[in-house]
Amino acid sequence: MKHNIIHIVGASGAGTTTLGQALEKEYGYIWLNTDGYFWEQTDPPFARSLPHEERVKRLSAAIEEHPKCVISGSLCGWGDVFISLFDLVVFVDTPTDVRIERLQKREYERFGKRIRA
């Protein structure tokens, strides 16, 4: 099956998720966030990662189901098998001060007072 895959990468808070969601809405791609394939669903989130084989299996299945997709987030250390499928890789470069501001807001929304001292 022919794929049409865009991979969006950048430092945390750079805007990769926002760009992925925009491409989904504007151009009909299916947006896949690597966090959804890397982490187990826990409360609080991001407490336990899935085994390497499970991550690859789940993302492979999603790509087969949605061959026109945009993948946002890091695949470092586990996603090399997907590199040959990418038609385009976009690196989002955002100033550090902007990223820090975004991350503080996002983490407060996710974790609330648990992260405030």
Residues of the chain falling short of pLDDT 70: 1, 111, 113-117
pLDDT of residue 44: 72
pLDDT of residue 104: 86
Helices of type H across 1-117: 16-27, 35-38, 52-65, 96-111
Q: List the 4-10 sheet strands across, edge first.
A: 30-33, 68-72, 4-10, 86-92
Residue with token string 């992260």: 115
pLDDT of residue 39: 87
Domain boundaries, the chain: 4-115
Whether the full predicted model's pTM is greater than 0.85, yes or no, is no
Q: In the CATH hierarchy, which top-level class contains the domain 4-115?
A: alpha beta
Q: Give the SS3 label for residue 30.
A: strand
